[in-house]
Structure 1
Amino acid sequence: MTTASTPTTGTNRARVGVQRFGTFLSGMIMPNIPALIAWGIVTMFFIEVGFTPVPALATIVGPFIHYLLPLLIAYTGGAIVYGVRGGVVASIGTFGAIAGSDYLIAQFNEQLLANDPDASTLGQVHMFIGAMIMAPLCAYTMKWLDSLWDGKVKAGFEMLVNMFSAGIWGFVMMIVGFYPIAWLVNGIMQVLSTAVNWLVSMNLLPLTSIVIEPAKVFFLNNAINHGVLTPLGLQQASEEGSSILFLLEANPGPGVGLLLAFTFFGIGAARASAPGAALIQFVGGIHEVYFPYALMKPMLILALIAGGATGVTTNMLLGGSLAAPAAPGSIIAVTGQAINPAAGGVPNLMVVYLSVLLSATVTFLVSAVILRASRRRDLEAMAATDDAFGAAITQTEAVKGKSSGHLENLRGGAATQAGGGIGAATLAQKDIKNIVFACDAGMGSSAMGASVLRNKIKKAGVEGVTVVNKAIANLDGSADLVITQNQLTDRARGQAPNAVHVSVDNFMNSPKYDEVVELVADQQNSGK
């Protein structure tokens, strides 16, 4: 349980800041994953090398990735900031960036061909990064402008002012997108593409695992994945049919290798829960379930890096790639994008499977060595914990009645709100009716945790309590109790300062779920 807030260090503030940035990027990308899947299906079947080539339908591919996907991302990002109004203005501004990028490339190619008719011209730059820049810029500025005349418009003229102000500002942002933003994004994409090509040519791409794997464990993966890898991968896929970049973060091999190591060489609750976590991570694609296992023994991050680098090396040497992002990062999603003819079909699928197998094997072996080496210390620590836990159970049984040790612990764990923390007495009076599981995107691990707690509450016969899952950014103050993984609690507390906050290590099976169930059951039995 969380207690009164502790001072936030500079490092922690930086981590939370990067997490928040990654969450915003994820919030723009994740709702549009169905569109990416639809685009992948079109390429799988209808392009020239597809399973069932249809030239007419293949004409959808280009406009889909060049116009529709960036505009969907822009609208979603704008809507996150300022609702439908922000989404519309963001889309207008992003369309200016798309047109500006095309114009710059056309000018460059014209000059290039004038000097050398046989030169290779530049292809289109797809404005995914442009959309991620324009969406918050357009929406926040529109929101600020509206605040200038809020309450000052005469009755009857509100619609006129709202429509024209959004239209005029959308036009202004379209010009901003056409010139400076298009130029900036084209430059960024050129630099990033050059850097990736250099890493590939120098056989250094596996070194990216040194950054990606630790970033995933600390919930910073969205900033890297959605901010860099997905835009670059989509750009590369539009030109070459597929991209290895989609496999740098989504490969489920390292995670399942770590969880299998805990299954065979772990101890206590970690060992008991690891098999179920492995299934959820590998098949369900919810990578967050293995993060707590790595965090409980940070040396295991080295195993993840080794496994991730092995997978990248395998794909780099044998040409493994995906035709589109695998989201979620499950073996099912990876299979679908790897078997796509644009990525090389079945031969490519075998390479990708080999990369997953080898990355899992290497992570498993390195993790096994680390777990075996520290087994004695871990057993001693577990014994001490068990004694403490047993004492707590004895105390609970001794005072069992209207209240219990579990409930008092929970009631003492309220989050800080403006003007001071909520104490035990205050929480005892707080009626828990709305429980929210919150994670980065609000779709994967939080949905799983909400389902687990929902079943526990149902089995306990508790009624009138809702359990839902949301992205942290979408916490709106309606929650009575918010449950997050401990790496994300600081951000959740900032979004919902008046709620009770519960931190858990693992969304799959935390003992704190039983405390929550006991609290709400006790409240109902007490007539609250």
Structure 2
Amino acid sequence: MNMKVKIQKFGGFLAGMVIPNIGAFIAWGLITAFFIPTGWFPNEQLGSMVQPMIRFLLPILIAFTGGKMVYDQRGGVAGAVATMGAIVGSDIPMFMAAMILGPLGGYAIKQVDKFLQGKIKSGFEMLISNFTIGILGMILAILSFLIIGPTISAATNFATSGINLIIKAKLLPLLAVIIEPAKVIFLNNAIDQGIFVPLGVQDIAEHGKTIFFMLVSSPAPGCGILLAYSLFGKGNSKKSAPSALLIEFIGGIHEVYFPYVLMKPVMFLAVIAGGVAQALVWNIVNAGLAGYPHPGSIISFLVMLPKGGFIQVMLGIIAGILGSFFLASFFLKIDTKEELPDNEDTSLNNDIESMLGISSDEKQGKIYTKDIDKIVFACDAGIGSSAMGAGILRNKIKEANLDIIVENYAVESVPEDVVLIVCHKNLYERAKKTLPNAKIRTVESFLNDPEYDKLVEDLKKGVVE
């Protein structure tokens, strides 16, 4: 497994802990935006919920989810108990500790149960089961209180100090050189959930707002790319760009603009320009959000605005759009390639193998429609792009009068009984590792990839090769 796939998988795992709890983050963000002393409707009593939620509720939810991902309910309980030690042993929000201790607790109790399997006398199963998790939880909580919590606290303070130095030196915009290309190759979750969410939560606790929640989530650079294609693109890429623009900017599903960058690598410079422009403006005007905007749509940004923060945030959004738009427009205008026929999809590569993301391994073997009762559309976190792709595929299958269910999952969480998976081509290796015996069909464009219709035609014929 290459390094990029490993980082993608790591990011997907982090997202799997955070994203199912986004509702709690939004609730906390709204309470913060409304009721803290500098909020929209200051209220001391209601505002008193902010600190307990950020210190206890959110980290424990993440830890429980991480432990449950490893070893179901028992893993979740062990992970939550282990994280409690780090929370009590530190004076900063322990999100990083939760992301480590949650899965660690789940893994530890899984190994204990595996060791004891077949060694417990009949009638003592419940007693041993309860006490093993209780004793293990106590040990992990003590270790996290004495060692892990203080260590992560020190590391977080060091990282925060470094980021603050970058901000004071007005160098924060340079992070876009890393962030924007990483997003396009599906490393956004590793960066956002692994770095900026913990830093942003701590920043809000201290200042009531944060710029860190906006750096990865902003729809502005992608919006500029899609706007440029809408005006100056060619063929179907120009026709599909307005729809993608609406989905990306309003719906917050950033993956729809990735193919428009990947098909012309020079567009990486355009998204970087947009990221640098927005961060530069936000840094100058001291902009920030009071809560985590998920999905990364303009609506989420507006909902999470702190009091008096509208102009500052929107100035950065506008700068990000214009920065990527002007550079992307320039690249499209100087493109001398002739426009392809309308029946060809210029949002994908001309090479048909690359366009469909099909490897020689995928072409081998076949499954019959009679054996397919469910198709899974998989993405990194199982919520955004996979939900949209599943919806598109579900409608096409319904129109074809096929009795097949279409569901969406995170790529590492696809059920074992699934025989046909659809995913973005960049996730092929991870999907293959999850279910090596399943048939995997890949797309490059979530909106208008010909693979949707090709798959439906194969299903109607009765065989998927």
TM-score when normalising by structure 2 = 0.94
Go from structure 1 to structure 2 and tell me whether the alpha carbon gap of 1:54 and 1:510 turns closer, same or farther (over 3 Å shift). same
- Match of residue 50 from structure 1: 39
Matches within 5 A, 1:101-500: 101=90, 124-338=91-305, 340-341=306-307, 345=308, 348-374=309-335, 376-377=336-337, 379=339, 382=340, 423-424=364-365, 426-428=366-368, 431-463=371-403, 465-500=404-439
DSSP 3-state at the match of 1:483: strand
Cα offset, 1:145, TM superposition: 1.4
DSSP 3-state at the match of 1:322: coil
DSSP 3-state at the match of 2:422: strand
Higher mean alpha-carbon deviation, 453-462 vs 223-232, is at: 453-462
Alpha-carbon distance in 2 for matches of 1:181, 1:277: 44
**Residue by residue, what CA displacement relative to the aligned partner does 1:209-249 show, whole Å, maximum 9, x if unpaired?**
01100110010011110011010011010010001111111
Higher mean alpha-carbon deviation, 231-240 vs 142-151, is at: 142-151
DSSP 3-state at the match of 1:52: coil
Alpha-carbon distance in 2 for matches of 1:512, 1:422: 14
Cα offset, 1:58, TM superposition: 1.5
Judge conservation of contact 1:415–1:501 (CA < 8 Å) in 2: no
1:222 maps to amino acid: N
- Match of residue 97 from structure 1: 86
Cα offset, 1:268, TM superposition: 2.0
Judge conservation of contact 1:414–1:423 (CA < 8 Å) in 2: no
**Residue by residue, what CA displacement relative to the aligned partner does 1:485-510 show, whole Å, maximum 9, x if unpaired?**
11111101110112110110011121
Judge conservation of contact 2:30–2:291 (CA < 8 Å) in 1: no
Q: 2:455 aligns with which of 486, 502, 516?
A: 516
Higher mean alpha-carbon deviation, 298-307 vs 44-53, is at: 44-53
Cα offset, 1:378, TM superposition: 5.6
**Residue by residue, what CA displacement relative to the aligned partner does 1:305-341 show, whole Å, maximum 9, x if unpaired?**
0110100000111111101111110000001112x32
Alpha-carbon distance in 2 for matches of 1:181, 1:33: 25
- Structure 2: tracts of 5 or more residues without a match: 346-355
1:427 maps to amino acid: I
Go from structure 1 to structure 2 and tell me whether the alpha carbon gap of 1:415 and 1:502 turns closer, same or farther (over 3 Å shift). farther
- Match of residue 118 from structure 1: none
- Match of residue 116 from structure 1: none
DSSP 3-state at the match of 1:224: helix
Alpha-carbon distance in 1 for matches of 2:202, 2:390: 36
TM-score when normalising by structure 1 = 0.83
DSSP 3-state at the match of 2:216: helix
Judge conservation of contact 1:434–1:478 (CA < 8 Å) in 2: no
Judge conservation of contact 2:369–2:459 (CA < 8 Å) in 1: no
DSSP 3-state at the match of 1:294: helix
1:156 maps to amino acid: G
**Residue by residue, what CA displacement relative to the aligned partner does 1:409-437 show, whole Å, maximum 9, x if unpaired?**
x9x96996xxxx7834x435772221001
Alpha-carbon distance in 2 for matches of 1:372, 1:486: 29
Go from structure 1 to structure 2 and tell me whether the alpha carbon gap of 1:498 and 1:378 turns closer, same or farther (over 3 Å shift). farther
1:225 maps to amino acid: D
Alpha-carbon distance in 1 for matches of 2:441, 2:370: 15
Go from structure 1 to structure 2 and tell me whether the alpha carbon gap of 1:302 and 1:155 turns closer, same or farther (over 3 Å shift). same
DSSP 3-state at the match of 2:337: helix
Judge conservation of contact 1:414–1:499 (CA < 8 Å) in 2: no
Judge conservation of contact 2:236–2:344 (CA < 8 Å) in 1: no
- Match of residue 49 from structure 2: 60
2:405 maps to amino acid: T
2:127 maps to amino acid: L
**Residue by residue, what CA displacement relative to the aligned partner does 1:106-131 show, whole Å, maximum 9, x if unpaired?**
xxxxxxxxxxxxxxxxxx31000010
Cα offset, 1:41, TM superposition: 1.6
Alpha-carbon distance in 2 for matches of 1:386, 1:224: 35
Alpha-carbon distance in 2 for matches of 1:384, 1:510: 13
Go from structure 1 to structure 2 and tell me whether the alpha carbon gap of 1:386 and 1:287 turns closer, same or farther (over 3 Å shift). closer
DSSP 3-state at the match of 2:260: helix
- Match of residue 24 from structure 1: 13
1:233 maps to amino acid: G
**Residue by residue, what CA displacement relative to the aligned partner does 1:259-303 show, whole Å, maximum 9, x if unpaired?**
111111222222221110000000000111111111111110111
Judge conservation of contact 1:414–1:427 (CA < 8 Å) in 2: no
Aligned residues: 455
Matches within 5 A, 1:69-80: 69-80=58-69
**Residue by residue, what CA displacement relative to the aligned partner does 1:464-522 show, whole Å, maximum 9, x if unpaired?**
x0000000121122222111111111101110112110110011121111122122222
Cα offset, 1:357, TM superposition: 1.1
Judge conservation of contact 2:411–2:434 (CA < 8 Å) in 1: yes
Alpha-carbon distance in 2 for matches of 1:30, 1:243: 19
RMSD, matched Cα = 2.2
DSSP 3-state at the match of 1:377: coil
DSSP 3-state at the match of 2:421: strand
Alpha-carbon distance in 2 for matches of 1:54, 1:139: 39
Go from structure 1 to structure 2 and tell me whether the alpha carbon gap of 1:378 and 1:328 turns closer, same or farther (over 3 Å shift). farther
* Percentage of identical aligned residues: 43
Alpha-carbon distance in 1 for matches of 2:127, 2:65: 25
Alpha-carbon distance in 2 for matches of 1:50, 1:236: 15
Judge conservation of contact 2:30–2:290 (CA < 8 Å) in 1: no
Cα offset, 1:19, TM superposition: 0.3
- Match of residue 76 from structure 2: 87
Judge conservation of contact 1:32–1:73 (CA < 8 Å) in 2: yes
Q: 2:24 aligns with which of 32, 35, 40?
A: 35
DSSP 3-state at the match of 2:312: helix
Judge conservation of contact 2:218–2:317 (CA < 8 Å) in 1: yes
Q: If you compute each CA radius of gyration, which structure gives the higher value, 1 or 2?
A: 1
